[in-house]
Amino acid sequence: IGALDKSVIESELQGSFTDLRKALFVVDGKDSPLLASAQSLLRWHDSHQYCSKTGQPTEKNPAGSKRVCHASGVTYYPQMSPVVITLVSDGSRCLLARQPSFPPGMFTALSGFCDMGENVEEAVRREVAEEVGLEVESLRYSASQHWPFLSSSLMIACHALVGAQRAEISMDTLELEEARWFGLEEIVEGLKREPSSSKQDDGSFLPWFPPKQAIAHQLIREWLQQQTA
């Protein structure tokens, strides 16, 4: 919206601006990829205004698809970082976790950036071992999704199976606030629950899961369908 005043726009349209993550609970499947792409591109332009080689200002092309340093001739294109997101299961339960920065009560699948030189399988095994201390026996690819948080990422979604006899969680407390196993009934109830209805009378929060537009939600639903098939 450029230099337009946000409060004036909110008053005129009788609405309010919100964080894109919250908006994913209300927008449909057609709008969410467009909003995510737009936010990523705007953030990229904002953080790449100078050439890393010369320090001189870069200039974007009319389409906004790249930036050019005229002093060096270097052209910069938006890039995405590969991230693995993995739903771990021991056969009858699935493992979900939360970080301290998450909204109260929200649990999701494990995720982490791929290290330089890693393939997807290696990244999944390493992340699961580092974050919850479990050894992946087998894994399978599910789907992928562009994700604009915190920077532009390509989320590569997988299901990972661990041995039921070796399913004791050893959590990385620097990364995670909580990680635990969820049974079938808990998953069914959590998928029905909205963030606004998760708070209990004693101030604690019942578990709820990412919005349907997030690939973590898809992983959880796929696991549920497999269990009930």
Tens digit of each residue's pLDDT (9 = 90 or more) over 118-133: 999 999 999 999 999 9
Q: What is the CATH number of the domain that holds 120?
A: 3.90.79.10
The series of mean pLDDT values per 10 residues for the chain, 229 residues long, is 82 86 74 84 90 94 92 92 97 96 94 96 98 97 88 93 93 96 97 89 93 93 94
Residues 128, 216 share a domain? yes
Residues 142, 208 share a domain? yes
> Token pair for residue 108?
């999701």
Q: Which of 76, 106, 121 is the last residue of a domain?
A: 76
pLDDT of residue 37: 86
pLDDT of residue 2: 67
Residues 93, 40 share a domain? no
pLDDT of residue 107: 97
Q: Which of 45, 76, 107 is the last residue of a domain?
A: 76
**2 in a structural domain:** no
Number of domains in the chain: 2
Range(s) of the domain holding residue 45: 15-76
pLDDT of residue 218: 96
Residues 30, 118 share a domain? no
Tens digit of each residue's pLDDT (9 = 90 or more) over 8-25: 999 989 998 887 777 777
pLDDT of residue 221: 97
Q: Which of 53, 76, 99 is the last residue of a domain?
A: 76
**7 in a structural domain:** no
Block residue for tokens 């990523």: 40
- What CA–CA distance (Å, rounded) separates 141 from 44? 29
**9 in a structural domain:** no
